[in-house]
Chain A
Amino acid sequence: MTGPVLLTTLFPGLVWAMAALALVQVWRRAALWRAGAAAPVAWLDGLAKLPRRYLVDVHHVVARDAYASRMHAVVAGGLLAASVLTALAILPPLAGSRIYWVLVALAFAVTAVGSFLVGARRYPEKQKRLSAGRFQILPFLLVAYAAGGTLTALLLALGGGGGVLAPLALLLAAAGGLGLAFEVRHGPMRHAAAGALHLVAHPRPGRFEGRPDTALQPLDLDAPRLGSEMPADFTWNRLLSYDACVSCGRCEIACPAFAAGQPLNPKRLIQDLVAGLSPAEPAYAGNPYPGGREAEGERGPLARLIGPDARIHPDTLWSCTTCRACVEECPMMIEHVDAVVSLRRHQTLERGALPEKAVGPVTDLRQAGEPGGRSLAARTDFAAGLDLPVLDGRDGVDVLLWLGEGAYDLRYGRTLRALVRLLRQANVDFAVLGAEERDTGDLARRLGDEATFQSLARANIATLARHRFGRIVTADPHALHALRNEYPAFGGHYTVMHHTAFLLELIRAGKLVPNRLEDVSVTYHDPCYLARYNGETEAPRAVLDAIGVSRREMGRSGRRAMCCGGGGGAPVSDVPGERRIPDLRMAQAAETGAGIVAVACPSCTAMLEGVPDRKAEIRDIAELLLQSVEAGR
């Protein structure tokens, strides 16, 4: 009986060898992460929360694709269970138990089923969003390991293993298993090792605590180099996070710029950051940037990443609308937008390499506190004829109405007029800052001009400190995000509400009595900076329901809504594409058959209303509510 005894040693030994090989491969990878900048990481806390982050937060995203979710549960669960069980068989009592080997065989059988599910996504034809290359070998390695493992465990369970079959089965398992472990460095299995470490050392631990952790992190303007020029400028845990990318392509399906044929593909961007770090990285095998530009330039931790002759073309960088759709969809919890902004910061702050058309607005922001270069006193011009109280010199108010950039726009002025009239009707004690209100600096920050943002933030915080008010209400989700989430880092702590949430409060308190507009069909377009950045998707819908319109949802809505193309400075950067993002969004709205697209953001209003051949009207929630309130009179 030397056969089975040898086998009970060799088989667990194989798993230990796999573990050792995987560890070596991770170690080689870690040498690259060490090139990154230092970052504070709460190791113990992260480790303790790893299971929860994986089982709750990651699963929540993975489960959006039911097939992938089941596939991953079966194959990863089976692989982990089978490998751990086999490794434990190094203990003689377990190795001698036939029932134990039946258990192991079952675990391997489950893995085998999962492996076929993995293979079915790639053969006979690969799903479009997936990457090819080394990922195409993965099903074979999995099947070899799982089938070899099942057979070996079965032989042990049956007490056989003396024949020719046992060495063959073990050889098959070894080929698959060691192959999988080897792939931890450059292949698909890297996502497992880097992904787990990434969940522990995530740069935004707040997003696992159930609150949206979406504020851009402030940049130290006295740092020796501003922003990221090369891979080594990223913190090490960001480099680690890019290695976690499993090339599933969910981001590229969600990306509005990719859909519009602008030269941005979030998956390719992350893979370019990975490949930029290491010259040994195998060639990218997924969908290219629209336009098909090939990667150029040097690679390595100190190689320049952005440039017409470098790995990533500047147009790719400036195509991003910072809508966070990719971040929302990423099952590996990668923060694409942080990477984009960090790269933009270097371009803008160190090289002055803003897109040509964005220079004017950013210059005016810096010099006049307003991206159109208009007089701050003209911000309230939209309210000509309305009684709009200005806070200056008053004894304090309940509500400070933050007007934002939309106030200068003639179309959006209508929305603000509706909002002011609603506030008047509800007898709200409110006022505006008037000429003291500067832009929040949102545009400058998204375009990487952190210096201008910080000086505007400090000026606004100083202004607000001179006044007494209860809370801030604004109709601009971009201003809301800056005031609520980004100003606290500079000492400004305010209660900030979006106008839809505030109007809902007024309706519920009985201060506004809407009449039902029965024969109106409405579809609501979620602004990225409200839904994804702040998780507010319910209040606008509740207001629409209070009006009684028939509400239809677009295919992509709520936190998974598609961007209108108006964020992140994309309208001023104006990178050419094959289509326009707002056209795509209006086509989605048209599919619902709704006559009105309800909006809640000045950027969305401008972008969607600018769509030619539009069948639906664009109306802000405030305008619809005013219409319904006034319908009874």
Chain B
Amino acid sequence: MKIAVLVSTGRHPVSGATVLSRLEAQAIRLAAGLGEPLGLHAGPEQAVLREALGQGLVRGEHIVVPDGVDPVPALAARLAATKPDLILAGRRGQGGDETGLVPYALAETLDLPLIPDVVAMASDDEAGTLRLDQSLGRGALRRVLVRGPLVVTIHPDAPAPFAYAYGQARRGTIVPLDAAPGTVEGTGPTVEERPYRRRPKLVKGAPTGGSAAERLKAATGEAGTAASGRLLVDPDPDEAAREILAHLRQIGVLAPPTRPSIP
């Protein structure tokens, strides 16, 4: 299986140093479980690609694209030429010039399906198909069976990246490529950049008026839905089990009881 991992120039969230984004490092680890992935980076510098080589990549291709130029056409041209079965990317950018839209733009350009937020991948029994576990948030997963080629973005809940190995970074090869003619133009979608602003968090079901004590009660569960719980002291095990089942059904974790069908 041919796998391409898109490598972007990330920024460390604290130090601001140029680093490989963690999601892409996780993508490399997932890809390494399926085959030997090829790294693909479009940009002026190859330093990030070198770091990716230290974290599990063996080979990387560096498409030289000047600073500030949209990398999508160059990447799309290269991917259209190499035709990988699977294209992996992070689910969002990590600082720098990233928009997090590249996988979507590529999927659109190449006319491929995109599966977002994947945490695990495995080859299925049937040749050419993949079993992907997609994160739906809060630990919920959805398993999808797909057939390539497709674009997949990685969720932070995927396995942690490989440790960086200096010797492997030194050994890996980077192939510098010129961008396909006609692809080095345009600056991509214009985006507006605004500093992050904290927004007030709305508490669901909280009384808009009332005293602070009432709002606190609503927020901490002393009133509202959470207050409707029942306290059983030293209950009979059967009764306790029934209560728990009833509660789980009420909040939708368990399906409603199936009635025995009447013949």
A residues within 8 Å of B by Cβ?
221, 225-226, 348-354, 356, 358-360, 362-363, 366-370, 373-376, 449-452
With a cutoff of 8 Å between Cβ atoms, the chain A residues found around residue B168 in the complex are 350-352
With a cutoff of 8 Å between Cβ atoms, the chain A residues found around residue B19 in the complex are 367
The reply to whether B12 and A368 form a contact with Cβ atoms under 8 Å apart is yes
With a cutoff of 8 Å between Cβ atoms, the chain A residues found around residue B54 in the complex are 352
Q: Tally of A-B residue pairs with Cβ under 8 A?
A: 57
B15 at the A interface (CB under 8 A): yes
Residue from A226, A356, A370 within 8 A of B167 (CB atoms): A226
Contacts A352-B55, A359-B160 given; indicate if A368 touches B14 (C-beta within 8 A).
Answer: yes
The reply to whether A373 and B164 form a contact with Cβ atoms under 8 Å apart is no
Q: What per-residue 1/0 map shows which CB atoms of B144-176 lie under 8 Å from chain A?
A: 000000000000000011111111101000000
CB B26 to nearest CB in A, in angstroms, measures: 12
With a cutoff of 8 Å between Cβ atoms, the chain B residues found around residue A451 in the complex are 166
With a cutoff of 8 Å between Cβ atoms, the chain A residues found around residue B167 in the complex are 225-226, 349-351
CA distance A225 to B165 in the complex (A): 12
CA distance A529 to B165 in the complex (A): 27
- Across the interface, name the chain A residue whose C-beta is closest to B56: A352
The reply to whether B163 and A226 form a contact with Cβ atoms under 8 Å apart is no
With a cutoff of 8 Å between Cβ atoms, the chain B residues found around residue A362 in the complex are 163-164
Q: Is the interface of A mostly helix, strand, loop or mixed?
A: helix
- Across the interface, name the chain B residue whose C-beta is closest to A354: B163
Q: Is the interface of B mostly helix, strand, loop or mixed?
A: loop
Name the residue in B12, B56, B160, B166 with the highest tally of chain A Cβ atoms < 10 Å from its Cβ.
Answer: B166
- Across the interface, name the chain A residue whose C-beta is closest to B160: A359
Contacts A367-B12, A368-B12 given; indicate if A352 touches B17 (C-beta within 8 A).
Answer: no
CB A440 to nearest CB in B, in angstroms, measures: 16
With a cutoff of 8 Å between Cβ atoms, the chain A residues found around residue B163 in the complex are 348, 352-354, 358-359, 362-363
CA distance A470 to B199 in the complex (A): 49
The reply to whether B15 and A350 form a contact with Cβ atoms under 8 Å apart is no
The reply to whether A349 and B166 form a contact with Cβ atoms under 8 Å apart is yes
CA distance A363 to B161 in the complex (A): 10
Task: Give 8 pairs: A residue, B residue, CB < 8 Å, sorted on A.
Answer: A226-B167, A352-B165, A362-B163, A367-B12, A368-B14, A370-B15, A375-B14, A450-B166
With a cutoff of 8 Å between Cβ atoms, the chain A residues found around residue B162 in the complex are 352
With a cutoff of 8 Å between Cβ atoms, the chain A residues found around residue B166 in the complex are 221, 226, 348-349, 449-452
CB B16 to nearest CB in A, in angstroms, measures: 9
Name the interface residues of B230-250: CB closer than 8 Å to any CB of A.
none
CA distance A130 to B53 in the complex (A): 47
Name the interface residues of B1-56: CB closer than 8 Å to any CB of A.
12, 14-15, 17, 19, 54-56
CB B84 to nearest CB in A, in angstroms, measures: 24
CA distance A555 to B156 in the complex (A): 50
The reply to whether A352 and B164 form a contact with Cβ atoms under 8 Å apart is yes
With a cutoff of 8 Å between Cβ atoms, the chain B residues found around residue A376 in the complex are 15
With a cutoff of 8 Å between Cβ atoms, the chain B residues found around residue A449 in the complex are 166
CA distance A50 to B12 in the complex (A): 54
The reply to whether B14 and A373 form a contact with Cβ atoms under 8 Å apart is yes
Name the residue in B55, B161, B163 with the highest tally of chain A Cβ atoms < 10 Å from its Cβ.
Answer: B163
- Across the interface, name the chain A residue whose C-beta is closest to B15: A368
With a cutoff of 8 Å between Cβ atoms, the chain B residues found around residue A351 in the complex are 165, 167-168
CA distance A348 to B166 in the complex (A): 8
CA distance A399 to B218 in the complex (A): 56
The reply to whether A367 and B165 form a contact with Cβ atoms under 8 Å apart is no
CA distance A366 to B165 in the complex (A): 11
CA distance A451 to B167 in the complex (A): 9
